[in-house]
Amino acid sequence: MRTKQLRFFLLLFFLIAFGKSGYATHNRAGEITYEWIGASSFDYKYRITIVTFTKTSSVNVDRPRLDSVYLGDGSGPTVFTESRRFS
């Protein structure tokens, strides 16, 4: 039992002492809203709005904007028509 604790603390020490810093680019906030815009009850048309806020100042962001989404119906990606960057 004592050797397991010693191994654990040695591993923990080396991870803390020699570990590399990790940088992540996370969305800070966001929301998804939808609105039915169909002409009849059998017209399945929706306007989907996706708003995301990503912190871009700390490191280079690999995806600073959201350009397409798969809706899950097998039809491929839906491409968005507008993207804005706020300072």
Coil, helix or strand at residue 34: strand
* pTM of structure: 0.48
What phi and psi values does residue 78 have, to the nearest 5 degrees?
Answer: -100, 125
Higher pLDDT, 81 or 28: 28
**Does residue 68 surpass a pLDDT of 80?**
no
Residue 68, beta-bridge partner list:
79
Domain ranges of the chain: 22-87
Amino acid code (one letter) for 17: A
Q: What is the dihedral of CA 37, 43, 45, 46, to 10 degrees?
A: 60
Tens of pLDDT, residues 2-46: 888 889 988 888 888 887 766 666 667 888 888 999 888 888 888
